């Protein structure tokens, strides 16, 4: 059978675009459909604009620090409108790059929704039907709101980048990295920030000691953080949004943001038309090579709900091309992925937490917490954390956890060593770079505890 294309990609985010480009570069006839903006969650409504907002929010304490270092600097406040216009211009530029990369690679693009109608056929929103030997679904995910009375009054992370004006006060509901990152951003921009999380501690799943320090520093920075607290009811009142919570409080906020989870974008894709299996959240179930239960259909990225990170989606896209079009079966590697959480303070992590590791094998824990030189000289009480989890038998470093300015940059480098199987003695043999915070990773000689 002759197909219109060898590969049809549904979704123009980072994973879908990378797969389309790499395949097209090898002479594969590729088409891609995207109903929204190219670049997906990361470029348009996630990593990139969020990091720009993090940068913007960090300057207020920098100004205070600069004065302590002898600079005569005045802080006349933050101009949200100026920043927002520059941020949107940057996102427009990046989307243009994505479009150009696809065009230069020879990928045919359709700026509309596509859905499956048969194992080798998609239907566009305008009614056209296009056949392809292989179909790749890379539609990402979306934020969800809880089933709470009045929840429609709140916004999600998607809308945070498009606020007309900064609110004077905001309630952020959730305890994951998105909630905690935006709490830091809003607080840094001068918004009175309150955060509710129903669990006992924020950043569930990360190392307890590391997330405990992040929570404590967030409070020290002025965020009104309440754990063990959830929202019961919300309603619109004259001066904002009235919120009743499980801690007995009734408060009014200018804005409420939900960061209570994300679900895969698998609805209305025609999955039932071809019998593609999905999980409880709607995630597309795939094998180790990203293939669904239908031989001609594959899926990558957040829509599969495996490891929901942009670089992982890109790796999955490249592994898909190796497997399907280059004859080199390649399963994406989901082990030992370094991760950064752009809270304030920042956190970087790779491998096992102390809690995970101690349940599996005997371990040694090397840890230190201290005031960094830069902030200490400026009179701030900020603390940082450097922590290594070591297998007592093999001496391999099973996990590293950093809470500090630039933790994301540090964990990228540490991740290489741990991915290679470095032992504690490999760290010990490495000469310290002095004076730096990261030197503590190679100078901790005695475990603080064993388990």
Task: Calculate the CA 334 to chain-centre distance.
Answer: 15
CATH label, 339-450, candidates 3.30.390.30, 3.40.630.30, 3.40.50.620, 1.20.1510.10: 3.30.390.30
Helices within 326-442 (DSSP H only): 354-358, 373-377, 407-419, 424-429
Cβ atoms of 53 and 45 within 8 Å: the answer is no
401 is an active site residue:
no
Cβ atoms of 345 and 405 within 8 Å: the answer is yes
Neighbouring CB atoms inside 10 A of 248's CB total 8
CATH topology identical between 151-259 and 339-450: no
Task: Calculate the CA 84 to chain-centre distance.
Answer: 21
Q: Where are the domains of the chain?
A: 5-143+263-325, 151-259, 339-450
Does this model's pTM top 0.75?
Answer: yes
Tens of each residue's pLDDT in the chain, 451 residues? 899 999 999 999 999 999 999 999 999 999 999 999 999 999 999 999 999 999 999 999 999 999 999 999 999 999 999 999 999 999 999 999 999 999 999 999 999 999 999 999 999 999 999 999 999 999 999 999 999 999 999 999 999 999 999 999 999 999 999 999 999 999 999 999 999 999 999 999 999 999 999 999 999 999 999 999 999 999 999 999 999 999 999 999 999 999 999 999 999 999 999 999 999 999 999 999 999 999 999 999 999 999 999 999 999 999 999 999 999 999 999 999 999 999 999 999 999 999 999 999 999 999 999 999 999 999 999 999 999 999 999 999 999 999 999 999 999 999 999 999 999 999 999 999 999 999 999 999 999 999 9
- What would the DSSP string read from start to end of 387-409? EEEEETTT-BEEEEEEESTTHHH
Q: Which one from 81, 142, 401, 434 is the annotated catalytic residue? A: 434
Quick one: tokens of 235?
């309603």
CATH architecture observed for domain 151-259? 3-Layer(bba) Sandwich (3.50)
Give the three-class secondary structure for 365: strand
Q: What is the dihedral of CA 230, 236, 238, 240, to 10 degrees?
A: 50
CATH of domain 5-143+263-325: 3.50.50.60
SS3 content of the chain, % helix, strand, coil (to 5): 35, 25, 40
Q: Rounded to whole angstroms, how far apart are CA atoms 318 and 328?
A: 11
Report the relative pairing of strands 384-391 and 363-370 from DSSP bridges. Answer: antiparallel
Cβ atoms of 38 and 12 within 8 Å: the answer is yes
Residue 335's pLDDT is: 97
């Amino acid at each position: 059978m002759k197909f219109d294309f060898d590969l049809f990609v549904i979704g123009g985010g980072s994973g879908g675009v990378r797969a389309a480009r790499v395949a097209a570069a090898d002479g594969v006839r590729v088409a891609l459909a995207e109903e929204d903006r190219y670049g997906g969650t990361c470029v348009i409504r996630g990593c990139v604009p969020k990091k720009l907002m993090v940068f913007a929010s960090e300057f207020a304490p920098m100004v205070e620090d600069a004065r302590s270092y002898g600079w005569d600097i005045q802080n006349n406040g933050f101009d949200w409108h100026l920043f927002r216009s520059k941020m949107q211009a940057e996102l427009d530029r990046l989307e243009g790059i994505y479009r150009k990369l696809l065009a230069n690679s020879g990928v045919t693009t359709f700026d509309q929704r596509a859905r499956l109608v048969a194992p080798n056929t998609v239907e566009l929103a305008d009614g056209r039907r296009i056949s392809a030997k292989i179909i790749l679904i890379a539609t990402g995910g979306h934020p969800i709101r809880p089933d709470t009375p009045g929840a429609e009054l709140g916004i999600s992370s998607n809308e945070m980048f498009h606020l007309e004006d900064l609110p004077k006060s905001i309630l952020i509901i959730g305890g994951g990295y998105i909630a905690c990152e935006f709490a830091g951003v809003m607080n840094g921009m001068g918004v009175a920030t309150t955060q509710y999380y129903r669990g006992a501690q924020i950043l569930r799943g990360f190392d307890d000691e590391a997330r405990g320090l992040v929570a404590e520093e967030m409070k020290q920075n002025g965020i009104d953080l309440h754990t063990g607290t959830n929202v019961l009811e919300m309603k619109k009142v004259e001066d904002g949004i009235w919120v009743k919570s499980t801690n007995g409080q009734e408060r009014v906020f200018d804005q409420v943001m939900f960061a209570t989870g994300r679900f895969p974008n698998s609805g209305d894709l025609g999955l039932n038309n071809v019998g593609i299996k999905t999980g409880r959240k709607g995630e597309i179930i795939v094998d180790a090579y990203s293939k669904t239960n239908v031989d001609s259909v594959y899926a990558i990225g957040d829509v599969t709900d495996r490891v929901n990170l942009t670089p992982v989606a890109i790796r999955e896209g490249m592994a898909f091309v190796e497997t399907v079009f280059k004859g080199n079966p390649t399963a994406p590697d989901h082990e030992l992925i370094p991760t950064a959480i752009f809270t304030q303070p920042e956190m970087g992590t790779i491998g096992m937490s102390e809690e995970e590791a101690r349940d599996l094998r005997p371990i040694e824990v090397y840890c230190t917490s201290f005031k960094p030189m830069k902030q200490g000289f400026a009179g701030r009480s900020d603390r940082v954390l450097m922590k290594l989890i070591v297998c007592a038998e093999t001496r391999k470093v099973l996990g590293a956890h950093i809470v500090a300015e630039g933790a994301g940059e540090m964990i990228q480098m540490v991740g290489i060593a741990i991915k290679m199987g470095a032992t504690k003695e490999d760290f010990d043999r490495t000469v310290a770079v002095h004076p730096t915070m990261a030197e503590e990773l190679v100078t901790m000689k005695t475990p603080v505890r064993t388990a």
